[in-house]
Structure 1
Amino acid sequence: MDYAVELNGVRRRYGRGRRAVHALRGIDLRLPSGSFTAVMGPSGSGKSTFLQCAAGLDRPDGGTVTLGGTKISGMSENRLTEFRRTRLGFVFQSFNLLPSLTAEQNVLLPSRLAGGRGDRRAAREMLGRVGIGELAGRRPGELSGGQQQRVAIARALVGAPDVVFADEPTGALDPATAAEILRMLRASVDELGATVVMVTHDPAAAAWSDAVLFLSDGEIGGSVRGGSAEAIAARLVPA
């Protein structure tokens, strides 16, 4: 099987001695290409650290991370930055759009930061795919929260990345808009073959995924394949 994400013995510790916090305690997993995985767990379970280490935003203290067949553990900071810009996509709760740039320019930004000119046609096509092609020339301040998140999704997908990492992508949205955003992430997997890894606290959001991983005290405490929001909520480990 073709795996988009592979973690082997990934550990992350903050601090030293008795006050050390073991955020990740040896994570082993493989996520296939073209899959949608949700990661859940109570506060302090290691969700954010998991995403940061898996996405190359933070370096683990031990173990290896392989994305799209490329081992990123041990890469220099410059190579890792280039890898993130060209091979990964990111969607955050706070959208992370530059207010001075148009929607189209925000979509093209990672490519231009990596030294490319950016494909304007591809950017406009992706904005059209997420339903806001007619807003390509508007700046974030002229867009609603849901529209801004659509721009962020277009930015994440336009370069056909190996993996899209989403960190609470619906946390700042109302339920109806959140459902629209999750439907787009689902469609990116089903129609474009994208691989999505999403950290969320919301069982309703996790129900859109193919599989849910439950973190507890820095370890994977279980998983389910699909299921309703109610069934997923019932599996969460209490904080």
Structure 2
Amino acid sequence: MPDHEPSTSPDALHLRGVTRQYGRGGNAVHALRGIDLRLPRGSFTAVMGPSGSGKSTFLQCAAGLDRPSSGSVRLGGQELTGLRERRLTRLRRARVGFVFQQFNLLPALTVEQNVLLPLRLDGRRADRRQAARALAEVGLADRARQRPGQLSGGQQQRVAIARALITEPEVLFADEPTGALDSGTAAEVLGLLRRSVDARGATVVLVTHDTAAAAWADRVLVLDHGRIVADLPGADLSGADGGEEQREAAARRIATRMRALTTSTVRPEVAA
């Protein structure tokens, strides 16, 4: 199967027995300790945990940016752990989308050129009509010819989301995408991620420390000690009119559970 063609697997992401250890012997740091997880297509999952809980390592292993010490990672049915680095790089370009706290837009390129860049890097035809559709979806159809420096922070993050979705990835990984934004702009960005799931059938994995952000998800996983210690529901937004109230209630519920977890455990040394 060509790297840019999505699979027919019902799971967008499947981790089985994933561990990640840095160092050996008495100095070993166990970042992940036997993660088992299936994420179906069209799901929105938030990953939370205190600093050093393993959530960043989880994202890196799940996205093929790091190799687990043991276990397997399957992206849309494709096993990642045994791939050579060059093949893994091609697969990430074609089938994984990334949005980070830093927008990582190229300042010398126009907004349109930034959005189309993943297609060019993957050797695919970069059609300006695709960029126009992607920018229209994030409310920036009139900004295609501008440079990133002419946009606000929230607008730049919306461009980053359009860029991440242009390849129709198996999974979009968002690592603290609202960390540098005010609450109103953050809600706009999270709303776009939510709509990408509901309208496009995208699969989103959001790593965040913010319970208000996590509440936009269908499911909230809490990591500690390198393990999944809680699997919580987010706000049920399907067909709901009172979305904001439901998100606020979900955020309070998640925050309460997080406080209970952090006060009831003594954490061994793990990686971020």
TM-score by length of 2: 0.86
CA distance in 2, matches of 1:232, 1:130: 28
AA aligned opposite 2:252 = E
The residue type paired with residue 199 of structure 2 is E
Report the identity percentage: 66
Aligned partner of 1:144 in structure 2 is 152
Please identify the structure whose Cα radius of gyration is greater.
2
- Give a deviation string over 1:153-188, Cα, whole Å, max 9, x none: 001111211110000010010000000000000000
Q: Could you list the runs of 4 or more consecutive aligned residues of structure 1 that deviate by over 6 angstroms after TM superposition?
A: none
Structure 2 counterpart of 1:235, one-letter code: R
Tell me the distance in 1 between the aligned counterparts of 2:187 and 2:175. Answer: 16
- 2:85 pairs with 1:85: no
In structure 2, distance between residues paired with 1:218 and 1:12:
9
Alpha-carbon separation, structure 2, partners of 1:11 and 1:113: 31
- In 2, Cα distance between the equivalents of 1:119 and 1:211? 35
* SS of corresponding position for 2:217: coil
Is 1:109 the counterpart of 2:117 in the alignment? yes
| 1:191 partnered with 2:199 | yes
Q: What's 1:171 paired with?
A: 179
1:122 to 127, 130, 133: 130
Normalised to the residue count of structure 1, the TM-score between the two structures is: 0.97
Match of 1:231 in 2: 253
Q: CA deviation at 1:117?
A: 3.1
Residue 70 of structure 1: CA displacement?
Answer: 1.0
Partners of 1:117 and 1:98 lie apart in 2 by 20
How many aligned residue pairs are there? 239
CA distances 1:13-45 after superposition (whole Å, capped 9, x unpaired): 112221111000110000110000000000000
Structure 1 unmatched ranges of 5 or more: none
Distance in 1 separating the partners of 2:91 and 2:150: 31
2:13 match: 5
Q: C-alpha root-mean-square deviation of aligned residues, in Å?
A: 1.1
The 8 Å contact of residues 119 and 166 in structure 2, kept in 1 or not, is answered as no
Residue 81 of structure 2: SS of its match in structure 1? coil
What residue in structure 1 maps to residue 213 of structure 2?
Answer: 205
Distance 2:141 2:187 in 1: 20
Residue 234 of structure 1 aligns with an amino acid whose one-letter code is T
Answer with 129-138 or 224-233: which moved more.
Answer: 224-233
Q: Secondary structure at the match of 1:235?
A: helix
Q: Look up the match of 2:270.
A: none
Aligned to 1:55: 63
> Unpaired segments of 5 or more residues in structure 2?
1-8, 236-249, 268-272
* Matched residue SS, 2:74: strand
Partner Cα separation in structure 1 for residue 98 and residue 127 of structure 2? 18
